[in-house]
Amino acid sequence: MCGIAGFLSPDFFNEHGRAEVIVSAMRDSIRYRGPDDAGSWVDEDAHVALGHRRLSILDLSPAGHQPMVSADGRLVIAYNGEIYNHAELRAELIAGGYQPRSTSDTEVILEYFARHGITATLARLHGMFAIALWDRETRELTLIRDRLGIKPLYWSLQGRLFSFASELKALRNHPGFRPRLNRDAVATFLRHGYITGPHSIYQDTFKLEPGTLLRYRSGGTVLVERYWDLADAVATGTAARGAFQDRGLEELHSLLLDSVSRHMVADVPLGALLSGGIDSTLVTALMQASSSRPVKTFTIGFNEAGFDEAPYARDIARHLGTEHHELYVDTAHAQEIIPRLTEWYDEPFSDSSQIPTYLVSEMTRRHVTVVLSGDGGDELFTGYTRYVDGARLWRRATVLPAFARRGLSRALLATPEALWDRLFGLVPRKWRPSQAGYKVHKVARSFDRSGPDDMYIQMLSHWQAPDAMVNGGHEPKGVLWDRSLISRIPDFIDRMQYIDTVTYLPDDILTKVDRASMAVSLEARVPLLDHRVVEYAWRLPQEIKLRNGRGKLALRQILAQYVPPPLTERPKMGFGVPIDIWLRNGLRDWAETLLDRRHLQSQGLLDSAVVHQRWDAHQAGENWAYPLWNVLMLQDWLQRYPCDDD
């Protein structure tokens, strides 16, 4: 895993060596992404500079140094990621007469680009990657991001300066970059807790979307094209579902085994994040089945009821025979890292599971350099409870006329969350949902919507009317509002999965894991997001994935071959922390400083009256933790990274 950065502009090469200094500062601002080596490549005549920070995983020798120049001298690459089928591609190159200079996957893809071109090479790559490729002959820069958006890549065009990097702080370290606040992005952040692609917190600065590549020549226009589209995989997969009814699980099992074994290739120690849930347990079980030694597994626990999965992970690790490592989080330690979150996440980001994700990464890095996780299973195999709840609730809600739905919504909301928590406390612990009151209220707010897709927007929203909250902000309306999906993806559960896979997965889940792991120089791999697994999952009939209100049925059936179901069968807990409690206790002073009424009013960005109304309600016992965490992460980010606001 690595970090890349660079720029293309005629304005910063007027003094010999200046571009080298600039690109070195850009790349070194993200040193933690690659502490083992650093490199830069500058062409003064072409006005281009590439920078690279290296975390050595494959071929630890200097032969893997980047930026790397192709054997024919035409192409230069700066690359972040791992290619899991590089051995096959290397064999093809050797068969064609090429003699490799290293065992790195970087050299393989670079020479494959040189011999077969960009389009043909991308069709062959299995892995995660963010690539900057400079063609010295055409003087064209190509940026490429992997199919699912596992690795990040930002780009910016401001005047004659085109710049790119793995993280935004590297762009800020270019003297020509102007950090102008994007108020529209603030609005979408308040709704989701993350900024949806292709937007970023800065104007004229964007995320390169998953499955796309960008071409740019100095003084020209930016051309973005898609080389892989999940919509195509959905259309092809759903059309073929009937043919996969009988053999689906057996083929899926083989494919998952192959993906996990490929993701285990490394020249450094590796392990697995084991939360005790279906996805991480399956990945761990497949790793152990592919290994002759006990796999190193890592989990963290919390003392607060409803947040602790560590005992489940411990039992699973004992059954599988892994070398298990466990850390119970001290609340003070967890709260100590909060002021550093904006430094690591680089733009406003408020998924509070960023905290345990960092903590487990911090512990894991003491033992290994590479770790596998189970991310992606929820989106692919209907794991989120909102898929089941959303479809069921809409079916039941439509039995009632609109006025009755509104009445039921008001009745459910009139019962305090704390009372709902007590009522659900009567349910056996094994089947008791966490944060029951919060979830009941969230569902209740969905009842008065005009259709299931509007209801889903509400279910995903932290703030319901972000435009009203952000002065001068106009929320970009992306795929979540695209009603053409109703005809293209008729099944409501399929639509929810698709939407999450192109938004929530890359912009929240994968961003969270990338920043938390990279902050401690840990490479995180996600074998469930091998694009072959993704495409195959869409071919499986929905009843193989979801039945009688239980999601991930296919994964559960495969997992039962390795782990007894009683060890994993329990309600989905999630990977969270008790932010609602902390905001009333240990974090209250910190939060009240950030939410100072006079500061918010003078800042002129948010509706301070509504913010304080929610804050007071939260202190009185209601749960407004998620919306408030959005505002707090935004304010903390603005303090750390001041912006021009025009």
pLDDT in tens, 143-173: 999 999 999 999 999 999 999 999 999 999 9
* pLDDT digit string, tens, across residues 427-449: 676 556 656 666 677 666 666 56
Report yes or no on 526 lying in a domain. yes
Choose among 190, 191, 193, 279: nearest CA to 573. Answer: 279
Domain assignment present for residue 233? The answer is no
Q: Report how far residue 480's alpha carbon sits from residue 204's, in angstroms, rounded to the nearest whole number.
A: 23
State the total domains in the chain: 4
Tell whether 32 and 150 lie within a shared domain.
Answer: yes
pLDDT at 389: 77
Q: Check residues 302 and 356 and name the one with the higher pLDDT.
A: 356
Query: Which of 174, 205, 228 is at the close of a domain?
Result: 228
- Three-class SS state of 104: coil
Task: Note whether 112 and 195 are same-domain residues.
Answer: yes
Which H/E stretch holds residue 598?
A: helix 597-603
Same domain, yes or no: 543 and 622: no
Task: For residues 171 and 35, state if they share a domain.
Answer: yes
The last residue of a domain, from among 446, 472, 492: 492
Q: Does residue 224 lie within any of the structural domains?
A: yes
Which structural domain, as residue segments, surrounds residue 445?
A: 386-492
Does residue 346 lie in a domain region?
yes
Q: 573 in a domain, yes or no?
A: no
Same domain, 252 and 376: yes
Examine the domain organization and report whether 369 and 465 are in the same domain: no
Q: Are residues 329 and 278 in the same domain?
A: yes
Residues 253 and 313 in one domain: yes
What H or E segment, with its residue span, contains residue 155?
strand 154-158
Is 477 inside a domain boundary? Answer: yes
Question: Which of 175, 194, 228 represents a domain boundary (last residue)?
Answer: 228
Indicate if 550 and 591 belong to the same structural domain: no
Q: What's the confidence (pLDDT) of residue 562?
A: 96
Smallest Cα–Cα separation from 523: which of 4, 56, 5, 28?
A: 56
Same structural domain for residues 275 and 180? no
Q: Would you tell me the crossing angle of helices 105-124 and 86-95 to the nearest 10 degrees?
A: 100
Domain contains 116: yes
> What pLDDT shows up at residue 435?
60
Residue 140: which CATH number?
3.60.20.10
Residues 614 and 537 grouped into a single domain = no
pLDDT tens sequence across 366-387: 999 999 999 999 999 999 988 8
Q: Has residue 574 been placed in a domain?
A: no
pLDDT at 646: 64
Question: 64 and 118: one domain?
Answer: yes
Of 544 and 4, the structure prediction assigns the larger pLDDT to 4
Confidence (pTM): 0.91
Q: What residues act catalytically?
A: 2
